[in-house]
Structure 1
Amino acid sequence: MRIVNDLGCSWISDLDRRSNIKNLDKDKSCDWLIVGAGYTGLSAARKLSELHPDQKIIVVDAQLAGEGASGRNSGYLVDTTLNDGFTSNKELSKYRKKTDIYKLGIDVVKKFIKEHQVDCDWNESGKYFASSNQKDRKILENFSKTLSKLNFGHNILEKDDLSKRLGTNFYNLALYTKGGVLLHPGKLVRAMIDTLPDNVELLENSQLNEWAKNTDRIICKFNKHQIITKKIIFCTNGFLKSLGVKKNYNFPLTLTASMTRPLTDREFKSIGEPREWGVLPIRPMGATIRMTKDKRILIRNTAEVHSPFKMSKTELDERSLTQKLGIKKRFPSLADNIIESSWSGVVSRTRNSSQIFEKVEDNVFVAGCYNGSGIGVGTLFGEQIAIKASNENSDEINIIESRTKPTWLPPQPFLNIGVKTRLMFERFRSRSDV
């Protein structure tokens, strides 16, 4: 099945349309084939070019580069994620390893931005874990204890302070962390495309259908042509399962989001003219909300088991209504028709929220499953999987490989039944904050 993404993502439509887009129009061979042209694949290509300047590197993507999950996420570069229950020393150690990876991810993105002078609306504004439900206070207090043990700057905020900061009195409490970054994901991934080295060939709208090893070569078949490569790196994240890569360890979820038009000066003044901010939910199925640099409101409040290849306009419109209600609950004074665009996107999950980073077999490597933290971790893992595939090592790889490994998933149909049941349960628990 061909991947079809809706064309309504504001992050992507903000950008100038690209020219000179190439697809696979004949059989090719290369030293390295990277499948997936998002943060991970583009970063892997950049690092491989540095390590092997005389070798041929091809990056392929089933759609336009950067216009999958990389250009469609909410633009959070996270330093911490909320994990309820990290209280024992063993669990705290696991969480520390997770945050070590997040820090490395922030550092590698910051380095790329500085080196290439990228304007991606970078804002070290931190982030809020917020809720309208006072019953969530215990979760935040436990999380605060974890952050204190790890020396992360943070503080718990109450309703009045939140109202002044966010421009809405919807939330009753929040935990603010200082280390997170907000950015424009479309601008960042476009910069990664524009700065690809000369020995990297980018082929788009070219979907890999099947692949197989043949002695020391890997034969990759597309719709009309094939690529024969010496080594392959899979960086398709939410589509790893459809390519048969670590399929018993990852599964895709489809998310939908909407963004408003820019608020008028009068509308912006009516909500207190807040600075740019980002809110993440305390409970998994609550809403992610952003006030952007250009005074737009983004909301993401759905996650479901759905075909990762396509969401119809009718289905998307239905989910957009949920986002319209979410905005109205938070900003009742704003106009009803304020949403300008809605879109879907795919994330990859593992059972225990760990990432995939490994050699699958000789000359076959994979990095993915960022569980919603793909900007920093995806960029980091792309660079490091290129180093690993080149039979080299790094301090970063040592840190990555010390993490808890992904755990095995049950087969279908039990997996989908279990995931759907869990999502329904979490949706019910988060119903006040959707």
Structure 2
Amino acid sequence: MFVANKLPQHLGESGWVTMLPRRTPRPSLDGAVKADIVVIGGGFAGLSAARRLSQLDPKLKVVILEAGEIAEGATGRNSGFIIDLPHEVSSEDYGGSDSDARRHDIKVHRIAIALAQQLAKEKGWGKDIFDPCGKYNVALGPQGDKHVVSYAKQLEKVGEPYRLLDGREIAGVTGTSSFTSAIYTPGTVIIQPAAYIRGLADSFSGAVKLYENTPALSFERQGVAWRIKTPKGEINAAKIILANNGQAQSFGLFRGQLLHVYTYASMTEAFDPSLLGGDRSWAATPAFPMGTTVRRVRGDDGDRILIRSRYTYNPRMQVSKTAIARAGRVHDRKFEARFPMLKALPMQYRWAGAMALTWNGVPAFGEIEPGIFAAIACNGVGATKATASGIAAAEAALGMDSWLVQVFRGFAAPKRLPPQPFLTIGATANLSMKEWSAGLE
């Protein structure tokens, strides 16, 4: 029997959610139901798994349990990049002679993008929710410029298209002369993450049932099936897909194998688009690992700038208002350095979002108990990797031996973490060192 010792906590108001119209959540579970498969977690991994299950067998009875409301968790706090290429632009990610492995990773990422593209087509979404516009990696100085050039060379090795931009050219895109160079890659999709995940959640009907504000409190073996208990009900199901990322550890699973890291974001008030030149919608990741992600978001009431930076290790899976305020001060400095013409523009929203990482950078995936399939630990780039992991978990749960399932089964097991207090000391020092190394970037 697996019993949760804590429920998810989310602090700070995500601008993505607040900018959307109010939504009536699906009812919580009240009573007993039966299902073929229960999906625990209503984020990228869980809802992608449910979608794949319904594609493979439309008659399959699937129950999705979301502890809170859709988009209120980590998914609605994402920066909204569904990336086809490795997230960082350092040459280590493409590893010279390891070009075949990089092509392999790119194929996995594009399977995730394909699911999102199909959903966007079905829903008739515009670019305000789903924009296949590609992304930029931007540099703010000589160190970042070197990484941009190195990344371009690695892309050539794997035959991926790109375009290099000098300072003047990237200024034409961003409206600011702060960036010294950039590289553009066309395959990334930019989403409004809260709107995307709401749309995916609201696409289910028929044999797929979603219950919000319904945390799984425990699950235990009952003969050949599983009984999942919630605050006011229970489900009896043959199989479970565990897609609640770091919260899996609250059930005692993957103990000593998951690193709980939070990243932080701030979003400005809406401003008159005439105050900033360039394109009204673009997205950029940093040229240097652990740098600053920036997006310009076009809206009916004006445009906004998103700044995401700062990482902290939080083994108790919670953050404080003080930590968000501290990160916000960092964001303000980063914002002013990039957009001095907007330095008087205040931030309207600040929030934190959880990530689950493993020591060796692999997902926690597979059949961990008879009938329980895990799609855990996205290791960052959650919109892409969690989506792919959810698809693979769905296929594995139905006994498929697809290429994607083989890929995820081929990963090594998550490496055990060092004991405390060495883990906290080491993780905190490592994050601080990487952020310091990123410098202005």
Tell me whether the two structures share a fold, i.e. TM-score over 0.5.
Answer: yes
Q: Which moved more, 1:358-367 or 1:213-222?
A: 213-222
Residues 254 and 308, structure 1, Cα contact 8 Å, conserved in 2: no
Q: One-letter code of the match for 1:43?
A: S
Q: Which moved more, 1:203-212 or 1:99-108?
A: 203-212
- Equivalent positions of 1:153-192 (< 5 A) are 153-192=161-200
- Equivalent positions of 1:399-414 (< 5 A) are 399-402=407-410, 404-413=411-420, 414=422
Cα deviation for residue 7 of structure 1 reads 5.4
Regions of 4+ moved over 6 Å: none
Q: Is 1:379 matched up with 2:384?
A: no
**Which residue of structure 2 aligns with residue 58 of structure 1?**
63
* Alpha-carbon distance in structure 1 between the residues aligned to 2:163 and 2:413: 32
Q: Which moved more, 1:147-156 or 1:378-387?
A: 378-387
Residues 349 and 370, structure 1, Cα contact 8 Å, conserved in 2: yes
- Equivalent positions of 1:266-415 (< 5 A) are 266-268=274-276, 272-294=277-299, 295-306=303-314, 309-402=317-410, 404-413=411-420, 414-415=422-423
**Which residue of structure 1 aligns with residue 27 of structure 2?**
22
Give the aligned CA root-mean-square deviation in angstroms: 2.4
* Alpha-carbon distance in structure 2 between the residues aligned to 1:206 and 1:194: 16
Q: Which moved more, 1:107-116 or 1:34-43?
A: 107-116
- Equivalent positions of 1:58-97 (< 5 A) are 58-81=63-86, 82=88, 83-86=90-93, 91-97=98-104
Q: Is 1:41 matched up with 2:46?
A: yes
SS in 1 for 2:366: strand
Deviations 1:90-112 (A, max 9, x none): 53222221111111111121112
Deviations 1:233-266 (A, max 9, x none): 0011232333333344432211110111222144
Structure 1 223/174 Cα, relative in aligned 2: closer, same or farther at 3 Å?
same
Structure 2 spans left out of the alignment, 5+ residues: 1-5
Q: Is 1:102 matched up with 2:109?
A: yes
Residues 46 and 197, structure 1, Cα contact 8 Å, conserved in 2: no
Deviations 1:211-247 (A, max 9, x none): 3334422233444654332211001123233333334
Residues 125 and 276, structure 1, Cα contact 8 Å, conserved in 2: no
- Equivalent positions of 1:250-265 (< 5 A) are 250-265=258-273
Q: Which moved more, 1:318-327 or 1:111-120?
A: 111-120
Q: One-letter code of the match for 1:13?
A: T
Residues 231 and 364, structure 1, Cα contact 8 Å, conserved in 2: yes
Q: One-letter code of the match for 2:63?
A: I
Cα deviation for residue 48 of structure 1 reads 2.3
Deviations 1:293-321 (A, max 9, x none): 33210001111112565434343233222
* Alpha-carbon distance in structure 2 between the residues aligned to 1:2 and 1:86: 35
TM-score by length of 2: 0.89
* Alpha-carbon distance in structure 2 between the residues aligned to 1:301 and 1:264: 25
Residues 85 and 142, structure 1, Cα contact 8 Å, conserved in 2: no
Cα deviation for residue 398 of structure 1 reads 3.7
Q: Which moved more, 1:48-57 or 1:234-243?
A: 48-57
Structure 1 324/89 Cα, relative in aligned 2: closer, same or farther at 3 Å?
closer
* Alpha-carbon distance in structure 2 between the residues aligned to 1:392 and 1:74: 32
Structure 1 261/86 Cα, relative in aligned 2: closer, same or farther at 3 Å?
closer
Cα deviation for residue 207 of structure 1 reads 2.3
* Alpha-carbon distance in structure 2 between the residues aligned to 1:29 and 1:317: 45
Q: Provide the identity percentage.
A: 26
Q: One-letter code of the match for 1:372?
A: G
Structure 1 350/282 Cα, relative in aligned 2: closer, same or farther at 3 Å?
farther
Structure 1 spans left out of the alignment, 5+ residues: none
Q: Is 1:227 matched up with 2:235?
A: yes
Q: One-letter code of the match for 2:114?
A: D
Residues 66 and 189, structure 1, Cα contact 8 Å, conserved in 2: yes
TM-score by length of 1: 0.90
Q: One-letter code of the match for 1:259?
A: M
SS in 2 for 1:23: coil
Structure 1 16/136 Cα, relative in aligned 2: closer, same or farther at 3 Å?
closer
Residue of structure 2 aligned with 1:113, choices 107, 120, 126: 120
Cα deviation for residue 292 of structure 1 reads 1.5
Q: Which moved more, 1:57-66 or 1:79-88?
A: 79-88
Q: One-letter code of the match for 1:391?
A: G
Q: Which moved more, 1:159-168 or 1:104-113?
A: 159-168
Residues 130 and 196, structure 2, Cα contact 8 Å, conserved in 1: no
**Which residue of structure 1 aligns with residue 132 of structure 2?**
124
Residue of structure 2 aligned with 1:201, choices 206, 209, 212: 209
**Which residue of structure 1 aligns with residue 225 of structure 2?**
217
SS in 2 for 1:296: strand
Q: One-letter code of the match for 2:405?
A: I
